[in-house]
Amino acid sequence: MKEPLKAVRITDKVYWVGAVDWDIRDFHGYSTNRGTSYNAYLILAEKPTLIDTVKAPFLPEMMARISSVIDPKAIRLVVSNHSEMDHSGALPELLKLIEPEKVVASPAGVKALRAHFHDLAPVQAVKEGESLDLGGDRLSFRMTPMLHWPDSMFSYLESDGVLFSNDAFGMHLASLSRFDDEVPDWRYEAAKYYANILLPFSDIVLALLDKFDKTGFSPKMIAPDHGPIWRKDVKMIMSLWGAWARQKGTDKAVIVFDTMWGSTEKLALAAAEGLAAGGTKTVVMPMRLSHRSDVATELLDAGALLVGSPTINRQMFPTMADVLSYLKGLKPRSKIGAAFGSYGWAGESIQQVQDALVAMGVSTCEPVKCQYVPDAAALASAYDLGQKISAKLKEPR
Partner 1 sequence: MKKYVCKVCGYIYDPEVGDPEHGLPPQTPWEAVPADWVCPICGVSKEDFEPVE
CB of 267 to partner 1, least distance (A): 35
- Nearer Cβ to partner 1 (145/161): 145
380 part of the interface to partner 1, by CB under 8 A: no
Cα 15 off chain centre by: 24
Which of the residues 30, 38, 156, 193 is marked catalytic?
193
Longest Cα–Cα distance in the chain: 77
- Strand, helix or coil at 27? strand
How far is Cα 195 from Cα 52, in angstroms, rounded to an integer? Answer: 24
Where does this chain touch partner 1 (CB under 8 A) — which range of 48-56, 82-90, 145-153, 388-396?
145-153
Burial category of 124 from C-beta neighbours within 10 Å (exposed 0-12, middle 13-18, buried 19 and up):
exposed
Q: What distance in Å separates the CA atoms of residue 286 and residue 320, rounded to the nearest whole number?
A: 10
**226 annotated active-site:** yes
For partner 1, which residue of 125, 146, 206, 240 counts as binding (CB under 8 A)? 146
Out of 226, 265, 291, 343, the active site residue is: 226
Q: How many Å apart are CA 94 and CA 90, to the nearest integer?
A: 6
Q: Which is nearer to Fe ion, 132 or 191 (CB)?
A: 191
C-alpha span between 342 and 357 (Å, rounded): 18
Residues 38/86, Cβ–Cβ less than 8 Å = yes
3-class state of residue 222 by DSSP: strand
Binding residues for Fe ion, rule: CB under 5 A, are 84, 86, 167
Per CB under 8 A, the list member of 145, 161, 242, 286 interacting with partner 1 is: 145
Residues between 148 and 167 that touch partner 1 (CB under 8 A): 150
Count Cα neighbours of 366 within 13 Å in the Cβ-side half-sphere: 7
- Residue whose C-alpha is closest to residue 233's, from 182, 193, 173, 176: 182
Judged by beta carbon, residue 35 or residue 200, the one nearer partner 1 is 200
| By CB under 8 A, residue 209 contacts partner 1 | no
205 binds partner 1 (CB under 8 A): no
- The answer to whether 172 is a known catalytic residue is no
**Selection from 90, 48, 47, 92 nearest residue 67 by Cα:** 48
- Catalytic annotation on 116? no
Q: Which of 61, 86, 160, 189 is catalytic?
A: 86
Considering CB distances under 5 to 8 angstroms, the limit depending on partner class, which of Fe ion, partner 1, none binds residue 167?
Answer: Fe ion
Quick one: which H or E segment has residue 272?
Answer: helix 263-277
86 is in the binding site of which of partner 1, Fe ion, none (Cβ under 5 to 8 A by kind)?
Answer: Fe ion
Instruction: Work out which of 24, 143, 223, 393 binds partner 1, going by CB under 8 A.
Output: 143
User: Footprint of partner 1 on this chain (CB under 8 A)?
Assistant: 108, 143, 145-146, 150, 200-201, 204
Give me the active site residues, please. 28, 82, 84, 86, 148, 167, 193, 226
